[in-house]
Structure 1
Amino acid sequence: MNQTPAPNRCRIVLIASPHVPESRVRAALSGGDVASLILDAGGLDEAAFQAFAEQVVPAAQAAGVAVVIAGDSRIAGRVHADGLHVEAGKDELADAIERHQARMMVGAGGAKTRDDALELGEERPDYIFFGRFGYDTKPEPHARNLALGAWWSEMIEIPCIVMAGADLASAEAVAATGAEFVALSAAVFSEGVDPAAAVAEANALLDRTAPRFGA
């Protein structure tokens, strides 16, 4: 169950796809503080993705976790998600914000450079995401994502999420950038990992090492 109030430091965002059994997502949510959960189709078709979301969204929301649907506004609406994640250029992001931001958060991904990020930021998304779903295959975070997260956190008020690596310890490097959120996926949902224990361990690590905001 999530802590109340939310900790004043970098918080966890989980990323899951239908390749992760719904029971493992529920287990992860029981492990401690989780700010939000981004659901990605993982290459599966619309029907499979929606069926997965229909199982996960109510459980996550009941645990106090906001759920964001990646890339499909129709599914986001059908399952009453809290947000929409858009991996696209400025025009498509602007359109999504105009259509949907009044009723759900709209976040932006896909920025690979500072110029990309600033262009997306001009549309005022609710957050910007540095990293790519499914690419957290190495123990450490991608150096470019860490650099972008550190620069963005220092310069821009819009919150950012930075993708961690496959090792839980990589959450510490993300928190050190000043990012508001660290995204965990493989570190929590890989085969052989106990999702609840992984989330608990990640929160303990952040409690010990993450900078406090406003300190």
Structure 2
Amino acid sequence: MQKRKRPVNRPRLFLITPPTFDASSLAGPLEEAFKGGDIACVLIYAPGANSRDLQSAAEKLVPIIQAGGAAALIYGDTQVAGRSGADGAHVDSSLEDIKLAVESLQPAKIVGGGGTKLKHEDMECAETGVDYLFIGKLDLEEQAETHSKTLSKAQWWAELFETPCVALAGNTMSSIEAAAATGADFVALKDAIWQHDEGTAAAVTAANALLDKYPFEDIG
């Protein structure tokens, strides 16, 4: 297998909303976050919400995300992704669900996949044609540092495969560096952004400053 070739670049920021949130209350901090710098996409992550509540939240948040120049992704519901005008969906429930999402949404919309445990599952996920592979567990309680398994898998993936990958960092700013050093295309953050002492704009500025330290090299 050939190693991937990448232009000189650096990882971009992938934001994830808190798992429980009030869309009206989150709208302000979300809009403020874009004042802090580059954000590639925002995943609207509400695993416990029903379709109606998720639709309502998406209608409030998707325009803010898109106005900021980022892609708006909906977690686990391709129908809401379509109805809300979002840019795509993130699916991690099963390989079959990922395949169905790819069939129903692409090429018009982005489909991200994850929820894998083993390396062969990562490859099966990528073979569906997803736009990115998410490495890390969204449903686990966040720790200060990036999980060691996330680091090892992201580095392995980034060195060998063409499909972009997202590495889930921890809930501290310092965790960004270890995730970025893997060569992942995106670094995902949750609480490190939303619970930052100086607000979301300052958090995004700080995150981008750290990501700037990790340019991709041509490793072919």
Alignment TM-score > 0.5, same fold: yes
Name the counterpart of 1:185.
190
CA distance in 1, matches of 2:129, 2:159: 17
Shift of 1:192: 4.3
1:19 and 2:30 aligned: no
Once the two structures are superposed, residues 109-142 of structure 1 have per-residue CA deviations (whole angstroms, 9 ceiling, x without a partner) of: 1012211101111112100001122536211011
- Cα 1:76–1:88 shift into 2, 3 Å: same
Contact 2:30 2:64 in 1 (8 A): no
Once the two structures are superposed, residues 119-166 of structure 1 have per-residue CA deviations (whole angstroms, 9 ceiling, x without a partner) of: 111112100001122536211011101111000001110000010000
- Cα 1:58–1:118 shift into 2, 3 Å: same
1:210 and 2:214 aligned: yes
User: Residue type of the partner of 2:179?
Assistant: V
Contact 1:164 1:174 in 2 (8 A): yes
- Cα 1:48–1:213 shift into 2, 3 Å: farther
1:34 and 2:36 aligned: no
Pick which of 188-197 and 27-36 moved more: 188-197
2:158 to 153, 156, 163: 153
User: How many residues were matched structurally?
Assistant: 208
Contact 1:87 1:110 in 2 (8 A): yes
Contact 2:196 2:203 in 1 (8 A): no
Instruction: Give the CA RMSD over aligned residues.
Output: 1.8
Higher RCO, 1 vs 2 (CA within 8 Å, ≥6 residues apart): 2
Pick which of 29-38 and 189-198 moved more: 189-198
CA distance in 2, matches of 1:107, 1:44: 19
- Cα 1:167–1:134 shift into 2, 3 Å: farther
CA distance in 1, matches of 2:52, 2:169: 29
TM-score for both structures, normalised by structure 1: 0.90
1:51 and 2:56 aligned: yes
2:72 to 67, 78, 96: 67
- Where does structure 2 lack aligned partners over 5 or more consecutive residues? 1-7
- Cα 1:160–1:56 shift into 2, 3 Å: same
Runs of 4+ with deviation above 6 angstroms: none
2:83 to 65, 75, 78: 78
Shift of 1:181: 0.2
Contact 2:47 2:75 in 1 (8 A): no
- Cα 1:97–1:42 shift into 2, 3 Å: closer
- Cα 1:89–1:134 shift into 2, 3 Å: closer
Shift of 1:51: 1.5
- Cα 1:127–1:206 shift into 2, 3 Å: same
CA distance in 2, matches of 1:83, 1:72: 10
Name the counterpart of 1:87.
92
CA distance in 1, matches of 2:64, 2:132: 23
CA distance in 1, matches of 2:135, 2:167: 5
Q: How does 1:130-145 map to 2 (within 5 A)?
A: 130-135=135-140, 137-145=142-150
